[in-house]
A and B are shown apart, each in its own frame.
Chain A
């Protein structure tokens, strides 16, 4: 299934990407020839192509996460957090978000996957921010002898924890597509990465009172 998803989403992206290019070209160079309705429908078509592209990209990201014992090495989570913040610079600046982190340990892990985990959780907090305040996101750690609990805390809209068991399922959404875009894959990717690292993910929240995602990861991965 995962191999199928990888191939399908990779090959599906090719024609879709070209549709996006040609549509944008036509819109840019031939817009005056459109009627109002034609322009509206054309924009709707472009939006649909963008949504499909996002969906395919997310399925692809989900499908490629797997256990790669050879890629496991000591990873400094402080560095991972810094890379994630750097990669999300535009979203952070646009939303006026403050992202802070401190005292994150070095653990055994797959670097690229851990970057994606941090990026998805930070993006999630930015996306589900309250309208009245800029996102404030803090990443902290409680390290024990053999594991680390990571806390990603935000001041966003939060959610009712009765939905907790569904939160990390593929294509699961707790909010309408109109208000909060997205594919419902981001947190499923987080869960898959955490599971690949033999860890656990959960969350604490109340509607309107922000959310804290708690990730428990072993400090050392046992060679299989």
Chain B
């Protein structure tokens, strides 16, 4: 099995602190020692990216919740894909909602996948592994 290199960089945006705690716990169980960056909404994602001066420091994966204040997941995805510099960064949607229409919309906007938030501890570990896998592609 491929292991995430120590500098695999993941940025996750979610306004729900408990969800950040849950996925962070799974990230640390699956790949201990990795530092994941967390922000609370889409606006903060764009600010985060703007602060990066060297493209080599861009995240390997951006994970977006859908329902967030200020700039929601779909709006953030659209903004990222509009900016030439950021377009190549893989974005995955991470939402509670299981809505085929929302899913198709996000895929059409360029999301690599639409992942439903886990309802179990084992599901959360699987998803954390999958996110590392996406970040390493």
Q: How many residues of B contact A (CB 8 A)?
A: 20
Tell me if B37 counts as interface (CB < 8 A to partner A).
Answer: no
Given known contacts A18-B18, A18-B22, A28 and B104 CB-to-CB distance under 8 angstroms:
no
Tell me if A196 counts as interface (CB < 8 A to partner B).
Answer: no
Q: How far is the CA of A50 from the CA of B120 in the complex (A)?
A: 10
Segment at the interface with A among B51-59, B73-81, B92-100? B92-100
Given known contacts A18-B18, A111-B104, A112-B104, A28 and B122 CB-to-CB distance under 8 angstroms:
yes
Chain A neighbourhood of B123, CB < 8 A = 21, 24
B118 and chain A: residue at smallest CB distance: A21
Tell me if B117 counts as interface (CB < 8 A to partner A).
Answer: yes
Render B89-115 as a binary contact track against A, CB cut-off 8 A, 1 for contact: 000000011111101100000000000
Complex partner residue of A57 from B22, B98, B124, CB under 8 angstroms: B98
Tell me if A17 counts as interface (CB < 8 A to partner B).
Answer: yes
Tell me if B16 counts as interface (CB < 8 A to partner A).
Answer: yes
Q: What is the minimal beta-carbon distance from A21 to any residue of chain B, in angstroms? A: 6
In the bound complex, do residue A116 and residue B100 qualify as a contact, i.e. CB atoms below 8 Å apart? Answer: yes
In the bound complex, do residue A115 and residue B122 qualify as a contact, i.e. CB atoms below 8 Å apart? Answer: no
Q: Tell me the B residues contacting A by CB distance below 8 Å.
A: 16, 18, 22, 67, 96-101, 103-104, 117-124
Q: Could you list some 7 contacts between A and B, CB below 8 A?
A: A17-B96, A20-B120, A21-B119, A21-B123, A22-B121, A24-B120, A61-B100
Q: Tell me the A residues contacting B by CB distance below 8 Å.
A: 10, 13-14, 16-18, 20-22, 24-25, 27-28, 49-50, 53, 57, 60-61, 64, 71, 111-113, 115-116
